[in-house]
Every structure is written in structure tokens, then in C-alpha cells.
Structure 1
Amino acid sequence: MTSQGLRASPEGIRAAKTALTDKTWSQHKLAIALGITRQPVSKFFAGESVSRSCFVQICQQLGLSWQKVAGLRENVAFEVTTKTQIKGTDLDTLVQEVRQKRQEKIQDQCNTLQMLDISQTVQLIDIYTNTNVLEEIVSLQWQEISDLLKDLKSESGFNQLGGYNRQRRSPGLEAVLRHSKLMVLGKPGSGKTIFLQYLAIECNKGDFQPNRIATFIRMKEFAEDVKNDSEFNLLNYIIQDFLNCGVEKESTKTLLTEGKLLILLDGLDEVPAEKAEQLTIEIRRITQTFYKNKFVISCRIASQKYRFQGFTEVELEDFDQGQIEVFAKNWFVGVALKSKEDGEAIGNLFINQLHLPENQHIRELAVTPLLLHLICLVFQVKNQFPVNPAKLYEQALNILLVRWDEVRGIKRDRVAYKLTLASKKKLLFQLAAITFEQKKYFFEQENILQLIADYLEPIQNLNSDVTQCQLDNEALLKAIEVQNGLLVERARGIYSFSHLTFQEYFTARKIVENYQDYDCNNLVNHLTEKRWRQVFLLTISMLPNANEILQLMKQKVDFLLADDERLQYFLTWLHQKSSSVSSSHKAAGIRAFYLVRVERSSCICSRHHAFVYTYGYDLECALVGNITFNAELVLDEFLFSTVACIHDLDFAFEHTINDALDHAHALVIAFDKAIEVVVDLKFKQVLQQLKKQLPKIDSNPEQFRDWWKAKSKIWGEQLRDMLIKYRHIGYDWQFSEQQKELLRKYYYSNKLLVDCLNIAADVTPIVRQEIEETLLLAIADIEKLRNSSNIR
């Protein structure tokens, strides 16, 4: 028979709200402190009926008499509940006594972390970052590859799949509160163990599930500690654990029977296969016998052969940008052992650099806590990210393949055949290279199994040991998924690499390891495809000598515009104009300067689609860094800006854009700056006369608008004529759409070539000189230069 519920009187609600305000708590925080969901708290403050036990807990937490809040006479309430209260008081006392006895054990067991490549222990509370969970398991979703491709934002990697954003998610603590039996799944290094340790610590302090006692059991240690099948008993294991803390056996059984334990079973996937079935039976037995307790089990996402009745499964979500920032700031204080001031300063530097466009691929790996720890380790050496990230990716690969299990003493089950670490890597490289070449970011299970079979067949023929084994391609696929997390099931039967960064890196490794027999033209043919950018950079950075491939890239770039006379004429002008400027910078850098300014100051492209500009990848900066002060370049910069403002203003007036006059002000500012820095007196006078023709903007905006519509075309042509006459700029090139597209590809390819040249490990001086000196030149000018004495 269930006890009748209670409801707060109006006076009781007012008293409760006052108490809540005095504690500066929200209803949500009160629910967390009680270890209950928010629903009964909301019903309590709404004057609705809630269970008697829950009502009493809320009042006690607020420091109020539950009888008074309910509007009951003290003596009546006592008569009705005396028996229950005495029993409850005794049980609560027992909980507090046992928690006190186990306090040091839980602190020692769960409050310290031994982090990878860190010699000292780290306090969990110093590094812990609040974790969210997905309430639907990603790999169980029924989706097509076309659905995943719609959601894929390749510039952000697989971790930003839009489909994830549509899933229900909640804070991990709330999920534990809502479900009495919870299975927490996650990829390798996603923070499952730390999450369970955090639950234990918070419960131990009384801040989470205050009416329960934490019990943290590593499944691997349990399986190792039992000497024979007769000892394979979780109940006895818990009883013995409590006995070691001075808790009598009968007390432990009472607590289990009354549901007063928070039982945390960590690392179900880490148990050897020969003991897995026995352990599964044991877990089912204890969770069904002592069902009143709260259970949380952690396991790797791909090990879902473990299913337990009554358990809700959730998946640990990757870190978002906010969580990455919190973790990093904590890391540089708690792990790097910097002072709080210095650690936070380095943490801010880390975050700022991580958000730079060139670190996008490192940022993609940072969503996995284990890899984020590695990235922090690498960053702290020089307070910057490596120029060549290939070594970082190789470390990440080795951690996921071997080291993460090694440092924790975990021996995974051997698959049904013998594959060395080198062979497993080569398999990954081949899978990545084939699928990336085919433009496949997601692949059906049968396709990936066929690729695995194709890889294993020659190994089977060459290796007698392997031949004698039963080759199971599906077992190998599952092993890579479970043990290493490098392949991930994104939906039922659909796989991808865990990070787009890894697929690109493995593709580059495949090219490098087979470079002697590799036709470099296969890679160079992808020069204008932006999705190949990282593969080019990684390949060049790992090659011991990149001369051949860089020369092929340069040849490919030069011939992109070779068949178009107008574009060749444009490049000839670019060379002539740049050569007329006296500067200490490289000639190619000056050519890049003018190429960019022509684009920004003209109608070469459709609005909002620049033909050369790619955010974060400016060619001139790649060639010469920031161009130092040069009078001619500064003047031309302002003149080009003036012409660009003319086009912006034309567009704004034509489309009746509200901020049109802002473009007019920008035009005047750029024009004034140009007049201010011009040295040629005749040219200065011409510019001043043109400036006088412009009506005042602020005094009469309508007059300016009317003037612009009537006379701006003639005024602009006059300005262009003067720019051509005095500065050899201002031409209206009138390129076709096809020519614009060619120029976009040309600029992008030159930028990629320069980036590859700068990251290459070893390039002979002659090859470097030839490439740098012939950048952004017409074919005829390249031939002239090659026939001169400057380069061979």
C-alpha cells in the first residue's frame, strides 16, 4: 500500500519560496541537491500533490517543518508517521555512518587521475568538465548516406553533423537522476570513466544523491581479482569492499535491500572475452535482485552486445566549443601545474589559436577529451601548435591504436587472425585512400567489408599463420571500432572515420609510404579541389624530398590559364605593374598584392563571391608576411578601396539597401586617404578636383543620392582614366563567368602551392627559387625568365 501524497499549503509555499531565495537556489539546483528530478519540485511549489517521502526531503533541505508546510497539526502528523519516521531515521543514520566510513576509500579511488604522459597524479575536480549525453544512440538511427551527407559540414568535420543537433541531449547528471538504471556509452577517450568517478565523488560529498552511498567498481579489476568461478560474485565483492571500510555485512545487505547504493560499474568492454558472459549474468543478477538501487554502467559504444533489462542507454556527446574552452583552462592550471593566473593566460592563448582557420583540423580532434589532452600537451611545449601537424596526428593514431590501452593495462581480445600493428595501420591507410579518392565520407558496411577482404587476401596468401586462421572481416571491422574508435558507425550499417582529419591524414600516409611506386600526377590532378587541400599539405610535409611533386604542382598551376589569351594578358599586366613598384619584398608577393586588390575593387565576380579571396588564406601574406610600409603600395591600396566603394555604392543604391550612405562615407574616407598620401602633384590636383565634384553627404543625403544616380558613371570613368594614366591601375577587365572561375582556381592553387612550399621538409634551393620567382606569371614571362641568367 503506497502512502498518501502531500501538498503544500499557500502559507507553506510562501515559506518555501522565501527559504529557496535565502539559499540563492533555483528549483533546478534544489532538485539536483536532493538527487531527484525537477518535476516533483515544480509540483511542490505549484501546490500539487507529491509523494510523502519526497515532500519531507524537500522541506528538510529548505530547513522547514514539513508538517507546517503541509498545514498539518504536529501531533496528528506524528501519529500517522511515527513508525515510518523512526525506520527512515535509522536508515538515514546508517547511510551517513557508512558514507563516513567509506569517505577516504572513494576519495582515494576516484578523486585522482593518472593522465597520459603526465608523471604526477591529477585531481579529478581540477580537470573535470561537465558532460552532456545524447538520449538516442547514434549508431542505432535508421538513416541513409544521403541524409548524413546533407548534414555534413566538411569544413567542420564529422563532429558537426547537423543530425546530431536535432537529437535530444541533456546534462549527464540529469540523465543519472532521471533513470534508476543507466548505461553510459561512448567512443574511446570520450570521458566515460571520469564521468563515473565524478558521480562517485559528488555522491561521496553528499552533493549528488545525498541519500545513497557510492560504490565504484572497475570491471577489469573485478574480473582480475576473482580467483575462481565460485568467487565471481558481485554481491560478495561489494560486501568485501564495505568490510574493508569497517562496514558489517548485515549493514551492507540492508543498504542494498533498501536501495541506498549508487553502484557504478566502469569499463564493461575492458573485461576479457572468456569472462564476459559470466560477468553479464552476474550484473543481471545483482541489478534485478537489488533493483531499488541506482546503477550506472559505462561501456564503449560499439560493445553493445551487453544489454541489460530495464537499463536506459545514452551516449556521451563530443565536447562542444564551450566545453573545450573550460577543459583547456582547467588543464593548464590543474595538469600543467601553472599558477591560476598563468594557467588561465595560457589557456586563453590556446583557445585563441585553436580558433584560427589554419587550426581547423586540430580543432576537429579536440572534441574528443583524450585527444584534447594530447593537443594541450603538445601546445604547452612552445605555447603554439605545430607548424606541421602530421606528427600530432601520428601521436593521436598511436594513442588510439595502442598506448591508451597499454597505460591502463588493458589487453583487448585478439581478433581471429594475426595482424601486426603495422598491418593494421596499412589497412586504415588503404581504406582511407580508396574512400577519399571516391569522394566517400560515409560507406555501407558491405562496402567496407569488401575493402577489408581485398586488403587481407594478399596477406593471407603470403602468411601461412594467417592462412590457418578463420578470417572474419566483420570481426576486424568491429575490433577497429571498439578497440580504437577510428571507424565509427554513424547510422545502422553506415560507417565513416571518426574524424575527417584522420581520413585525410591516412590518405596522405598511403601516398607517402608508397611514394617510390606512386604516380604523383594522381595527386596533382586534384590540385584545384579544395577537399584535397589537407592531403596535399600532409603529403608534402611527410616526404623526405618534395622536389618532384612541387614542380608538378607548379606546372599544373601555370597551365590553368595557358589557353586563355585575355587571362594571359592580365597576368602580363600584373607582372608589369608589380615590376614598376620599388620594394624590398619578393616580386611574387607584390604580384599577389595587386591580384587581390583588382578582385576587391572590381566587378570581376558576383557580389559576395570573390574570385580570389579565401578567408584566412591570403596569398600575399603567405609569400611575404605583412607587407611593411611602402608609399606606392599604400597609395594604390587606398585607390583600389575607393574603386571598390564605388561598386558597393552602385549595388546598394540599385537594390535600395538602407546602409547605402555608409558605403558613401567609406568612399569619401578612402578617397581622402589617397589624396593625403599621393606624392605626384599633378595627380594630387586631379584627385582633388574629382573630390570637389562629390556633394556633401550628411548635409543633404537625398541630393547626394540624386547626384550619384545621374553622374556617378561619368565621374567613375574619369577616376578610372586618371588611375590608368598615373598609376597603371583601374582597368575594367570584364572577364566572363568562365574566366572568373579559372581565376578563382588559379589563385587557390597558387596559395596551396606556396603553403606546400613553406611546409616541405626538404626542397633544394634551386627548385624553391624557380617556383617562387615564377609565381603569378604569364607563360611567356616564365619562359623569358627561365632563359635569363636568374634561374635555370
Structure 2
Amino acid sequence: MHLTPEQEAKIDPLLLTILPDAEGDEILQVVMVLGEDEANTSTTKTLQPSQFSSRIEYRQALIEQRKQQLETGTVGQTVEALNNLSLTINGGKTSRFLVVEGTAKEIIKSLSLPGVKSATLDQIIRIEPIPIDPPKVEYLTNLILDIFPINKDKVSQAAKQYISNYYKNYGRLQVLGMRKPIKLEEIYTTVKVLPKKLIQQFTDLEGIQESFRTRQQYNLDEAENNKQSGIIIANTYKYLTVLGAPGSGKSTLLRKVGLEAIKGTLSYNCIPVFIELKQFTNTQDIDLLKIISQPFKDCDFPNVDNFIKIGLQAGKFIILLDGLDEVPNNTVKKVVTQVREFIKDYKNNRFIISCRTAAYNQQFNNFNDVIIADFDDTQIKQFINNWFCSDVDKRAETAKKCLAALEKKSGAKDLAKTPLLLTFICLVYDQSQTLPKNRSELYNEALKILLEKWAAEKRLERDAIYKDFNTKLEIMLLSEIAYEGFIVDKLFFKTQELVDQIKTFLARNLNAPQDLDGEAVLNAIAIQQGILVERLDNIYSFSHLTLQEYLTAKYIVDNHLIEQTVNKYVTETRWKEVFILIAGLMEGSTGADQLLLYMENKALSYIKSLSDNHRFIKLLEWAETKTKNSPADLTPVAKRVVANANANTYANANANTYANTNANAYAYAYANTYVYTYANANANAYAYAYALKVFIQFIDKIEAAPPLFSGVNLQKLRDQLQLLNTLIPNEKEAREVHRTFAKKLLETWLNAFDLTLDMISLSLKEVKELDQQYFYIYHLILQCKDGAILVTDETWKAIEERMYRVPSS
């Protein structure tokens, strides 16, 4: 749309990026400043304090005089003119500052009014449906008619509306704080494909001994070698599970698949239906047929129920189920059961499910599992160019400067691989031209930008909702909401719950404005900021789970709840991100020291609760004694960690952290994994031969590095294994012969390291308990150390000195 030079001079750069490319029907909200009638002001009688009996009366008279000046002058006349343009105005005739809402077309007209001095973009309220290409409508219409032959004109009209709605809801990306929506198709997502066996080992709780061993050693390299586009993967697999970290682009990929289905560019013809699983907040039966039918009913499809049933039976749909990890814990089993039954009943259709990797438990059989890849350099560059795409930014080369700043800060560059964090990076850079390395600092800075920008543009003195409700108070309120929800595993909040919590917060805080309406505050946060989002009627959630986790961490730090939180939740994996963020928020001369010490105390308390004869106590003692004087190029704590890596999930992950470049460490850990697996299986001649081959290969690797253990004769072990290789029983021999051979194989390996079968024969229950109560805690301590602003050298050395040792009484 065309703007005159006079109109352009009145608007800020943000609005300038929107209006020239607008179609006209976009609904915008802007903050306008109106001009004063200087002549009217100059002829107004000057009031003196001496004319009044009190200063209160004097101030009231000044206010009334000012109101009359504005109402009868330029401000009042301009407000009337804005009303005549069918714009919605918040403010009235007694303030020079107005929040105006209306179409882009009417906003442009208002800029020609002489009383409008400036206009600043507040937010885009709504983007009207994108004009739909006739070929898309024709494709979808014909696809539907093939399923259910009915009136073509009605189907065509409904198909056009369905496509329009899909593009409106899922075809544009406007992440929290983005200047304007961008086409989703401009963001490309790739996925890393992990072999199904490795995925199962990583997520199968019954196979916990293997889960993290294989995960740490193999999956990343194999995934890099198998990197493919998300659309190729969607074309390849009928049933697909898309895994990824928070904010990695799982939902974006599902939306993109739906867009490709609408265009008919997939390798199969199907109709996309996008379902957000987070909507299932209660334990009542879930009617997926009804849910799938609703968007078609909204578009006035004829005979919807019959069309849906016939189409599902014919396998003509692709069902995109987004956010399995965001289903509340009390309903997730029912949701999984209902979805499984639905897939079983309509197995000819295609299904894609997204879920956080950490929450994935292999709930669905016959699904192929893929993991979202980090953004590569090309994608990061494209995203930043899309963000800073206005004419002003292009002239200033903002995108180029932001990319250069990323290259200089490896920490920020690493964060930028995740789309959500890259969004925050753009926000922070746009405001400060600097990039923090710490993830907690990044969230903090991004949140401040959002709230303070809002405060500067909209918290007008005349409106009670903005009065005295400063940024710090709002962050305190949001943190409390986040924390109170997170401790009970609540991601969704009813309107009344939030309103009541806001009222309670305001009532108990003497410095908070007491006349604010709780519902109005909620509405402001949700509509004008987008931090809380209304997902369903009267059901809200934070715009992203990661944002709730950050605010939860902030509440814990601000309210000195760190020790209490560690004692209650340190072994719950759901809290992992919160603890890492807590570490990044702890400041002062000792940084995150106290958090790490509280966590360590929980791990040590568990060890102290074990009897002196417990197998794991014996393993700890053995590891310290056996590695104490070895020449391996590892610290004492690294030697102990690696030595214990053979029988525990997080123990192996910790070993990789401490010894990820040490061939000896890897060789020892995985040799023990293989010997335990093969020697205790219902083995056959082939398995024995393969196991022996692997063991000898590991000896080769161990010999290439300084010995990790003292007194291990590797040549003798090699000779013994080669002798056993000539004595492998054939499959016809008695089962007892096989058991004897398996026992001999295991004892040969263990004896070489001065281990006994009893020492490593931890039950599955013991392994799970050790993982949860000890190894997981130390794994989290390492992650929190890396995520902290500061950990003192003295404290960390003391923790390492105690790590993987039997604590003194």
C-alpha cells in the first residue's frame, strides 16, 4: 500500500515495515500521539494556588482545566475524526496518547489527519487469510470429491476456506517478540535420523543398562551422516515420531508437512489435520473423530461426519499430532491409549507425532523415530535475515552485524542452533547490540526487552491497568504463576485461576496498585504481550514451556527456595532444565556454589544410606584403589568416573563428559558393556565369536593409550581370549556346556581387572535406583556447572575430590 512522505514521517520503523506491504485488511494496534492546539493553550487563564483553599483543590482544578483544553482543542477533534474512520480507540478525549486498533487501510488514512503527530506499532492483532492459489483449491477439491462425490461448488468453497484457515493458523510464524509474521515456508528444518535400535535403547526404561551407553557413543555421528530434510522423511515413513529439544522446531516441521500436503507436493495425496495435544487437559474420553471433524465443520463442508469416516477408512488423511510432551501427566496415559486405538482403527492413514526427546518413552509401535537437527550456519543466517528484513535494517546491515557478533561469541552461537533461542538472540541484539553467552542471562534479557518495550509504548498514565504496575512487579507475578503451576506439573491454567492468583498477588503486595482488575491484567499480558496465550476458551498457558521453566527458576532464586527445591525435585528429570537455569541465575561472589553443594549432598546422602557390603560401595572402593596410581592422562576424578562407567546409565554419560577424548576410557567402558551383554545372553557360537572379536579390538584400543588401571596384564588377557576363541562350543552341545563357557568368558575378562562377578551383578532395580539417586545427580551437577555464570575453583575442586568416592562418615 502507498504511503506519502508526510505519512512516512509520522511512523516508527516497525510500522514502516508493515504498512507498505500490507494487503489492507490486516488488523493492527498502534500507539498514537496527538498534537496540542498551542493557541488554545496560550489563551487559557493561568490558575494560582492562592485562588484555592487547599493544594488538593488546586491540583483538581488544574486537571479539569487540562481536560477541557484537550477535549475542545485538537485532541478532541482528532479523536472524533478517528472514530469516523471506524477505528477502535482506547483513551478518550482527555489524553494526547491513544491506543488505536483497526485495519491497515484505515490506519494509513488516519496518518493524514493533522492532529496525528506520530504512530508506533504496538502489535499485529490479526492477519487476514492469505489469498489462496486456485490450483491448491482445485487439488484439494478433487481429492475430496474422489473420497466423497458431492456438490463440487460447495466442496470447492469449503476447501478454499479450509486452506485459508490452515495458512492463517499454521502457515505463518510469529514467535514471541517478532516484528511481523513471516511465511513459515521461509524457515527450513532438517532432522537427524537415528537408527531405530539406538532410539529404543535410549528411551526404553526396561533396557536402562544400554540406553545411555549407545546414546553417547554413536548417535550423534550417525545422525550427522544421515541428515535429511524433514519433507523427505515425511515422504518416507507412514508413521513418524519427530523428537527434539525444547524450541527446536518440532511444531514448525509438522506445520510445514501440512502445507506441503495442501499443495499436493508430497509423494502421496492426503488431507492434513493439525491437532495440538496440549488441549487434552482432563481425563474424560477423547473423541478424535469429533476433533478431526471440527475444522471441516467450521468451513461448512457438506456431510462432514460421513466424509471424515469414509476418508479415514480410505487412508486419505495425514494426522499431525503436536506436543505429546505437553499433555499433563494425569491425562497422558489416556491420551496415548486413545491415540493408539485411533491409529489401530484407521491404520491406512499417515500419522506424525511430535514430542520432546527427554519425554519420549516409545509409546507407539511401528513408528519411525527421527530427531530434529540443530540449525546449521545456513539456517541461522536465513533466520536472522528474515528477522531483520525491514528497509531500515537492510540499510543498516543489522543482519550482517548480528551474524558477525554471533561468530565472535561461541556460547551465543551454540544457543543460536535452537530456533527458540535464536529468536531471543535477535530480540536481545535488536535492543542492546550485544549477545550474552549464558542461557539464563539470555532469557532474562529477552524478557526484559519485551516487558520494558511494552511499558514504554503502552503503559499510559491515564489507564489504571498500567499505573504503577512496573516491569519488576510483572516479572514477579509471572514467576509466581509459573512456579505454582510447575510444582504441580500444570502447563494450563483456567482464566479464573489466573485472575484469582493475580488478585492475590496484588492484594498482598503493598507497593502494587490495589485498584487493578485481575482480568484486565491477564488480558493485557495475554493479548498485548503474548507471554500467556489463550489456547482454548478460558484456558491459558505460557507461550512456550521453556519460558515457564525460566520463570520458575527465577522464582526459586528470588525467593531463596534452592535448598528446598533440590531436596524435593533434584532426581526428577522434568526439573532438569529448571536446575540448569537456576545455576545461570545465581550471582554474587560464590555464584552457583551453593546449588552444586546442595545437589552433591543429596547424592552423598544416598551413598551413606547403603550398607558397607553393598555392591556399589565395593565398586567405588575398587575404582579408587585400582586407578589411583595409573599413568592415564586423566585427573583422579576422571579415572574414578570412567572406572564406574560399565554398569550404569548416567555413569556412562558422566564418563564421556570427563574423558571424551581418551581412547582408553571409551575402550574400557564399552568393553565391559559388551562382555556383560554377550556373556550373559542365551549365546550361540556366532555370538561368542563376535564377542571375543570385539573384546580383542578393545584391547588394541586400550594398549594405544596410557593404562587406566594399575597392574592389568593386557597381553595375558589377549592370550586367554584367543585360547577361548578355539574352545567355543557348537550349538549341539548341552546347555550346561554353554553356561560354563559363558561364565569362563566373563570371569576371564573380570579377573584381568581384579573384579568379581558379584561386584558387577547389580539388579535392574539397583541400577535404576543408582541412576536416579546418584549418577543422574552428578550428571546434572556437571550440566549446572557449565550453565552457571560462576562456580568458584575452590568449591569445584572439593566436589571433584569427593565425586565417585565412598564418603567418610
Residue 431 of structure 1 corresponds to which residue in structure 2?
481
Aligned to 1:684: 715
Which residue identity is paired with 1:728?
A: D
Q: Secondary structure at the match of 1:742?
A: helix
Contact 1:329–1:347 (Cα < 8 Å) also in 2 = no
Mapped partners of 1:777, 1:764: distance in 2: 21
Deviates more, 1:313-322 or 1:423-432: 313-322
**Aligned in 2, Cα 1:232/1:458: closer, same or farther, shift over 3 Å?**
same
Work out whether residues 29 and 125 of structure 2, in 8 Å CA contact, stay in contact via their aligned partners in 1: no
Residue pair 1:366, 1:375 contacting (<8 A) in 2 also: no
CA distance in 1, matches of 2:562, 2:726: 63
C-alpha distance in structure 2 between counterparts of 1:765 and 1:675, whole Å = 34
Alignment partner for residue 763 of structure 2, among 728, 732, 736? 736
Instruction: State the partner residue of 1:488.
Output: 533
Q: Does 1:725 align with 2:751?
A: yes
**Other-structure match for 2:574:** 531
Would you say 1:363 and 2:423 are equivalent positions?
no
Quick check: 1:505 aligned with 2:550? Answer: yes
Residues 439 and 778 of structure 1: is their aligned pair in 2 closer, same or farther, counting only changes over 3 Å?
same
Q: Deviations over 1:275-301 (max 9, x none)?
A: 9999669989999xxxxxxxxx98437
Kept in 2: contact 1:329–1:344 (CA 8 A): no
Partner residue in 2 for 1:54? none
CA contact (8 A) 1:418 1:466 kept: yes
Change (3 A) 1:302 1:475: farther
1:728 match: secondary structure: coil
| Distance in structure 2 (CA, Å) of the matches to 1:771 and 1:345 | 38
**1:593 paired residue number:** 642
Q: Quote the residue 1:561 is aligned against.
A: 607
> Does the CA-based 8 Å contact 2:3-2:108 persist in structure 1?
no
The residue type paired with residue 588 of structure 1 is V
Partner of 2:540: helix, strand, or coil?
strand
The aligned residue for residue 381 of structure 2 is 329
Contact 2:647–2:767 (Cα < 8 Å) also in 1 = no
The alpha-carbon distance between structure 1 residues 396 and 651, as it changes in their structure 2 partners (threshold 3 A), is farther
Is the 8 Å Cα contact of residues 653 and 660 (structure 1) preserved in structure 2? no
Distance 1:519 1:676 in 2: 45
TM-fit CA distance, 1:109: 9.4
Contact 2:641 2:651 in 1 (8 A): no
Show CA shifts across 1:566-588 (max 9, x none).
13223222322332423453322
Query: For residues 634-645 of structure 1, what are the structure 2 equivalents within 5 Å?
Result: 634=664, 637-645=666-674
Q: Distance in 2 between matches of 1:281 and 1:777?
A: 68
1:402 maps onto 2:227 in alignment: no
Shift of 1:379: 12
| Aligned residue number for residue 125 of structure 2 | 300
Structure 2 Cα separation of the partners of residues 496 and 530 of structure 1: 21
In the TM superposition, residue 373 of structure 1 has moved relative to its aligned partner by: 1.6
Tell me the residue number matched to 1:753.
781
| Counterpart residue number, 1:790 | none
* Contact 2:29–2:100 (Cα < 8 Å) also in 1: no
Instruction: Mark the CA change 1:473 to 1:724 in structure 2 (over 3 Å): closer, same or farther.
Output: same
Name the SS of the counterpart of 2:533 in structure 1. Answer: strand
Corresponding residue of 2:471: 421
Q: Distance in 2 between matches of 1:596 and 1:542?
A: 31
Whole-angstrom distance in 1 between the partners of 2:529 and 2:578: 22
TM-score, with length taken from structure 2 = 0.50
Aligned partners of 1:322 and 1:587: how far apart in 2? Answer: 46
CA-CA distance at 1:749 after TM superposition: 0.3
| Aligned-partner Cα distance in 1 for 2:524–2:403 | 41
- 1:589 shift after superposition: 1.6
Residue identity opposite 1:726 in structure 2: A
The aligned amino acid for 2:722 is K
Q: 1:454 — aligned with what?
A: 504
Offset at residue 541 of structure 1 (A) = 3.0
Do structure 1's residue 571 and structure 2's residue 616 form an aligned pair? no
CA separation of 1:428/1:551 partners in 2, compared to 1, >3 Å: closer, same or farther? same
> What is the CA–CA distance in structure 1 between the aligned matches of 2:398 and 2:101, rounded to whole Å?
44
Residue equivalent to 1:475: 520
1:597-612 aligned at under 5 Å gives the runs: 597-599=646-648, 610=649, 612=651
Tell me the equivalent position of 2:426.
373
| Displacement of 1:641 | 2.9
Structure-2 separation of matches of 1:492 and 1:396:
28
RMSD: 5.6
**Match 2:513 to one of 457, 466, 469:** 466
Q: CA deviation at 1:195?
A: 6.8
- 1:137-192 CA distance string (max 9 Å, x none): xxxxxxxxxxxxxxxxxxxxxxxxxxxxxxxxxxxxxxxxxxxxxxxxxxxxxxx9
2:44 aligned residue: none
**1:750 Cα deviation (Å)?**
0.9
- Shift of the 768–664 alpha-carbon distance from structure 1 to 2, 3 Å rule, reads closer
- Taking the aligned partners of 1:231 and 1:734, their CA distance within structure 2 comes to 81
Secondary structure of the 2:474 match is helix
Aligned length: 505
Residue 220 (str. 1) matches residue 220 (str. 2):
no
List per-residue Cα deviations over 1:545-571 (Å, max 9, x = no partner): 344443332211111232233132232
CA contact 1:234–1:286 (8 Å) conserved in 2 = no
Counterpart-to-counterpart distance in 1, 2:79 and 2:623: 83
Q: 1:299 to 1:597 in 2, by over 3 A?
A: same
In structure 2, C-alpha distance between the alignment counterparts of 1:104 and 1:696, rounded to whole Å: 92
Q: Cα–Cα, structure 1 residues 451 and 400, in superposed 2: closer, same or farther, change >3 Å? A: same
Could you tell me how far apart the structure 2 residues matched to 1:653 and 1:380 are?
Answer: 63
Corresponding residue SS for 1:440: coil
Q: Distance in 2 between matches of 1:771 and 1:586?
A: 13
2:324 paired residue number: none
Q: Aligned in 2, Cα 1:373/1:705: closer, same or farther, shift over 3 Å?
A: farther
Q: Is the 8 A contact 1:724 1:731 kept in 2?
A: yes
Report the Cα offset of residue 520 of structure 1.
2.2
SS of alignment partner, residue 447 of structure 2: helix
What do residues 599-642 of structure 1 show as CA deviations (whole Å, max 9, x unaligned)?
Answer: 4xxxxxxxxxx4645xxxx32454x464556xxxx2x6435434
Deviations 1:408-452 (A, max 9, x none): 999995517642222112111211221112221222222222211
Deviation larger for 734-743 or 225-234: 225-234
TM-fit CA distance, 1:774: 0.3
**Closer, same or farther: CA 548–653 of 1 in aligned 2, 3 Å:** closer
Would the aligned equivalents of 1:652 and 1:660 in 2 still touch at CA under 8 Å? Answer: no
Q: What are the ranges of 5 or more consecutive residues in structure 1 without an aligned counterpart?
A: 1-98, 116-191, 201-213, 238-264, 288-296, 304-309, 600-609, 698-702, 784-792
Other structure's SS at 1:300 match: strand
Structure 2 CA distance for partners of 1:721 and 1:478, relative to 1, 3 Å: same
Q: Secondary structure at the match of 2:643?
A: helix
Partner residue in 2 for 1:23: none
Q: Compared with structure 1, are the counterparts of its residues 485 and 302 closer, same or farther at alpha carbon in structure 2 (3 Å cutoff)? A: farther
With over 3 angstroms needed to count, the CA separation of the structure-2 counterparts of 1:404 and 1:298, relative to structure 1, is closer
Which among 767, 774, 785 is matched to residue 795 of structure 2? 767
> CA separation in 2, counterparts of 1:742 and 1:773?
23
Return the alpha-carbon distance in structure 2 between the equivalents of residues 561 and 229 of structure 1.
Answer: 78
Q: Relative to 1, partners in 2 of residues 1:724 and 1:298: Cα closer, same or farther, differing over 3 Å?
A: closer
